[in-house]
Amino acid sequence: MAKFQSNVLAAGLCVLGSALCAPAHAGTVMDEIRERGQVVCLVNSNSPGFSVPDSNGVYQGFNPQFCRMAAAAIFGDAGKADIRGIGFSDSMKTIVSGEADMASRSITATGTRDADPGMAFVVTTFFDGQGFMVPKSLGITAASGLGGATVCAEEGSTTLSNVADWFSDRGMDYKIENIADKTARLQAFFGGKCDVLSSDLTALASDRLLAEKPDDFMLLPDIISNEPLAIVTRPDHQLEGAIFWAFQVMLWAEELNITSSNVDAIVADLGNQPKAVQRLLGRDAAMGEMAAKLGLNENWAVEVIRQVGNYDEVFQNTIGTASPMAIDRAVTPNRLSSKGGLHYPYPIR
C-alpha cells in the first residue's frame, strides 16, 4: 500500500481510537516548498519521450509534466517546478537527504523501498514491465534464446534482481555488466560489450532512439516483471495529498472529457455542467474544501488541467502514437479503468 493511502487508513483508525494515535504530520515539507516558492522535482536526464532537455535546457516529456502538475496544484503556476535531471542511483538518495521534494523519473514502487521512512511512493503514473533489447544481428526473437548472454543493466535498480530471478528460474546461464552511468551503459551495449540490454520496456524503447542506427536493434516480446512507475516524495501528508489528488484530477478530466483547451469554457458555464464536473472545478465545492485542507492554490484543479492537461493529453503529446516513441496506449495497462486499464480515478467529493 502506498504511504499516502496508508495515511488515509491511519487517519480513519485515529478517529475510532484517538487515544492510541500520535499527532498527524502537519506538512513541514510543504511549508518549505511554499517558503522557497518552487517544488524541486527530479527526472531522468536523458530519456527521449520521458524526459529530455530542449535547446534551452528545459526538460520536456512525460515525466516532467507531473512536476509541473505539482507546481500548478500548489502554486497555481506550473512554471514553479524546478526540474532537475539526475541518474537513477542518486535520485532516491537525493529524496531521502531532503535535497529534492519529489521525483518523477520511472522509479518502481516496491515493498522494501516503500518501507523506507525517508521516501513516500505516492501514485503510479505509468504501468510498465521489464524486457530485453538485442541487436537484430543476433537473430534472437524471444528471451528463451538468451542463454549464455551478457546483459547490461543499471546498478541499484530492480532490473538486476528481475534478471537474476528470470534466468535462475529457467536454469539459464548469463553474465551481467552492472553499469550505473546511463551513457556508459548504452555505449557498452551499442558497442557490442553486451549482447542484451534489460530495463523497463518504455526505457528500452526510449534508449533505442539514442542508437546511431535505431533500426539495428529490436525489443523482444517477453515481459518479465511488473513495474509500477511511481512519483516519489519526501514524506509529508500535505505534499503526498497534493500530488495524489492532482493526479486524480488529470484522470477525472480525461474521464469527463475536460481538456486544457475547453476547461475555461466549461468553468464559465459551470452551473449547467454535471455534478461531477461542478465538484471537480468549483471553488465552493470539493476542490475548494481540499485546497483549504491541503494548502493548495484555491483554483488548483482548474490550473492543473489548464496548464498541464488531462492524462491522455500528456500521454499522447509525449509518448503516444504521434510521437517518436509511438506507444499505443490502447494496448497498454495505462488506460482508464472504464476502458479496461489500471488507472482508476478516486472520488473527488
Would you give the end-to-end CA distance of the chain in angstroms? Answer: 22
Tell me if 3-128+228-339 shares its fold with 130-225: yes
pLDDT in tens, 12-46: 333 333 333 333 345 899 999 999 999 999 999 99
Q: Angle, to 10 degrees, between the axis of helix 3-16 and the axis of helix 237-255?
A: 110
DSSP secondary-structure letter at 258?
-
| CA–CA distances in Å: residue 39 to residues 69, 291, 295 | 10, 17, 14
pLDDT in tens, 133-144: 999 999 999 999
Q: Angle, to 10 degrees, between the axis of helix 64-75 and the axis of helix 237-255?
A: 110
Q: Angle, to 10 degrees, between the axis of helix 64-75 and the axis of helix 28-36?
A: 90
CATH code reported for the domain at 130-225: 3.40.190.10
Q: Catalogue the E-assigned strands of the chain.
A: 39-43, 52-53, 59-60, 81-85, 102-108, 120-128, 130-135, 149-153, 174-178, 196-200, 217-219, 227-233
Q: Which CATH number fits domain 3-128+228-339: 3.30.465.10, 1.10.10.350, 2.60.40.650, 3.40.190.10?
A: 3.40.190.10
Give the pLDDT score at 155: 80
Q: What angle do CA 314, 231, 245 make, to 5 degrees?
A: 75
What residue ranges do the domains of the chain occupy?
3-128+228-339, 130-225
Give the pLDDT score at 88: 83
> pTM, whole model, 2 decimals?
0.86
Give the pLDDT score at 156: 74
Closest by Cα among 318, 331, 146 to 224 = 146
Ranges of the chain with pLDDT below 70: 1-26
